[in-house]
C-alpha cells in the first residue's frame, strides 16, 4: 500500500536555536564546552623490558567541545519514508594532568535517530535511539549505538552496592582476560568473557580463568620485570581504583551528596556490539557463572588500520593491538542544591578492549589477551 509522506527538502536551512535543541531531545544538554579531570589506564606492549607488558596510568585533564549541527540530517531509502537525524559534533582533547603531555584527541559526532520500520527498531517509551561516531588517530574508527534515557537519583554507583545507576554494563574492571586463538567468531571479543567488578590480578593467580601473574596491576608489589608500570603511580590512585576506575566517579558523587546536592539528568549507554558477556563473580569464582548483556540498539563496529590487525596474512599470527570492543556510559547530570547555584556535570566511564599477544604471559605459549583500556572523567560545563 502506498504511503503519502512529505519528503525532506533538498534545501536545508537552520531553524531557530530552540528548534535545534528540541530536535536533539535527550542529547540537547550535551551542547557546550566541558572541562574537568579524569583517569586513564591502558596496557601496552613494552619492548624496553624484554618485550613485556607496560601498564600506563595517567591522571588526566580534559576539554570536550560539543556543538549542535544546525540543520536536519536526511537519511533516504526505499524501504520506508525518509527519516531525519539530529546531531552534535565533538572534539575531545585529553592530556596528562602532571606533565601536560598529549594523550588523546578525538573528533566525532553524536546523533539521535527516530524509530524506524525498515528495519523495525524502536526505543522504549520516553527514550531515544542514539549513536556515537568517533575517529582516533591511532588508526581506529568506531560506531557505537545505544539508548538515551532520563534518570533521577544518585548517578554512577548505587549506594552500598556495585550497581551502576542507569548503566547497562555490570563492570568496568581492568583485569585482563583470555581470548581464544583463531579460528574465532567474527567479533574477536565475543570469544572472551569480561571480568566482574572487583576482580584483581591477586585473585587471578595461579588458576584459570586467569591469565595469571601480571604484577603490573598489583600496586603492593614491584612489577616483574621492574619498570613496566607508571612510576610513581599518580597521586590518589589506589589499588581499588586501578581495579575499577569508575570508583573515581563515585567519589565525586559521594562528596557532592554529602554536601547536600541532588541529581537528575540523562544517561547514555552505547556499545559497538549487541551482546557482551561478563563473569558474575570476581575472576570467575564459584562456578564461573556469566551474564550476557543485550545492549538496547547496541552494535555498530570498529575499523582498524592493517598494522593494528597484525599477522601475515592478516589474522594468521595475532593482532599488534586490535581494538575489538568499545562500550561506555555517559551521565549528563543536573546538579542542584537548596541554597547554591545549579550546575551541569558530565561523567563517563568508557571501556575499550585491546587484543594483542604477549609471549611472556604464560610459559611457552603465545597468549592472546583482552586488555581493558579504561577512561573515566568528571567534567563541568564551562563558559569557554
Q: Predicted confidence band at 258 (pLDDT cuts at 50, 70, 90)?
A: very high
What does the pLDDT average to over 243-256? 95
- Residue 359, pLDDT > 90, answer no
Whole-angstrom Cα distance, residue 6 to residue 196?
50
Q: DSSP alpha helices (H): ranges in the chain?
A: 17-24, 201-204, 239-243, 247-258, 285-288, 306-309
Q: Work out the percent of the chain whose per-residue pLDDT is above 90.
A: 57
Better-scored residue on pLDDT, 172 or 119: 172
> Tens digits of per-residue pLDDT, 327-340?
999 999 999 999 99
> Which 8-state DSSP code applies to residue 216?
G
Identify the helix (H) or strand (E) that includes residue 24.
helix 17-24
Residue 2, pLDDT score: 39
- Residue 187, pLDDT > 50, answer no
Whole-angstrom Cα distance, residue 117 to residue 122?
8
What residues does 107 pair with on adjacent strands? 91
The three-point CA angle 87-138-230 to 5° equals 115
To the nearest 10°, the Cα dihedral for 133, 266, 16, 121? 60
Note the pTM of the prediction, 2 decimals: 0.92
> Tens digits of per-residue pLDDT, 297-308?
888 999 998 888
Cell of 77: 531509502
Residue 361, pLDDT score: 44
> Tens digits of per-residue pLDDT, 46-97?
877 765 789 999 999 999 999 999 988 888 888 888 889 999 999 999 999 9
Residue 346, pLDDT score: 98
Residue 317, pLDDT score: 64
Amino acid at each position: 500500500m502506498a504511503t503519502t509522506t512529505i519528503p525532506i527538502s533538498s534545501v536545508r536551512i537552520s531553524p531557530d536555536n530552540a528548534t535545534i535543541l528540541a530536535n536533539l531531545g535527550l542529547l540537547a544538554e550535551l551542547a557546550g564546552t566541558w572541562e574537568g579531570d579524569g583517569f586513564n589506564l591502558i596496557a601496552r606492549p613494552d619492548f624496553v623490558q624484554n618485550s613485556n607488558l607496560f601498564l600506563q596510568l595517567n591522571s588526566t585533564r580534559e576539554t570536550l567541545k560539543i556543538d549542535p549541527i544546525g540543520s536536519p540530517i536526511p537519511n533516504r531509502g526505499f524501504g520506508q519514508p525518509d527519516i531525519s537525524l539530529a546531531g552534535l559534533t565533538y572534539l575531545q582533547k585529553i592530556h596528562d594532568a602532571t606533565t601536560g603531555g598529549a594523550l588523546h584527541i578525538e573528533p566525532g559526532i553524536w546523533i539521535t535517530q527516530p524509530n524506524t520500520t525498515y528495519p523495525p527498531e524502536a526505543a522504549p517509551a520516553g527514550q531515544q535511539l542514539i549513536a556515537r561516531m568517533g575517529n582516533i588517530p591511532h588508526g581506529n574508527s568506531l560506531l557505537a549505538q545505544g539508548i538515551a534515557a532520563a534518570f533521577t537519583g544518585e548517578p554512577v554507583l548505587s549506594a552500598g552496592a556495585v550497581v551502576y545507576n542507569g548503566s547497562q554494563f555490570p563492570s568496568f574492571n581492568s583485569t585482563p582476560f583470555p581470548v581464544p586463538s583463531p579460528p574465532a567468531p567474527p567479533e574477536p571479543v565475543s570469544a572472551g568473557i569480561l571480568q566482574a567488578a572487583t576482580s584483581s590480578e591477586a585473585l587471578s593467580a595461579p588458576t584459570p580463568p586467569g591469565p595469571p601473574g601480571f604484577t603490573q596491576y598489583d600496586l603492593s608489589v614491584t612489577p616483574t620485570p621492574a619498570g613496566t608500570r607508571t612510576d610513581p603511580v599518580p597521586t590518589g590512585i589506589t589499588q581499588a581504583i586501578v581495579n575499577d576506575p569508575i570508583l573515581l566517579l563515585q567519589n565525586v558523587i559521594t562528596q557532592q551528596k554529602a554536601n547536600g546536592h541532588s541529581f537528575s539528568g540523562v544517561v547514555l549507554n552505547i556499545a559497538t556490539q549487541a551482546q557482551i558477556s561478563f563473569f558474575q563473580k570476581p575472576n570467575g569464582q564459584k562456578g564461573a557463572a556469566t551474564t550476557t548483556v543485550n545492549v538496547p540498539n547496541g552494535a555498530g563496529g570498529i575499523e582498524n588500520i592493517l598494522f593494528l590487525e597484525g599477522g601475515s596474512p592478516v589474522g594468521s599470527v595475532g593482532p599488534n593491538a586490535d581494538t575489538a570492543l568499545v562500550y561506555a556510559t555517559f551521565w549528563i547530570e543536573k546538579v542542584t542544591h537548596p541554597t547554591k547555584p545549579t550546575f551541569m556535570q558530565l561523567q563517563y566511564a568508557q571501556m575499550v578492549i585491546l587484543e594483542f599477544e604477549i609471549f611472556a604471559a604464560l610459559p611457552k605459549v603465545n597468549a592472546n589477551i583482552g586488555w581493558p583500556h579504561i577512561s573515566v572523567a568528571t567534567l563541568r560545563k564551562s563558559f569557554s
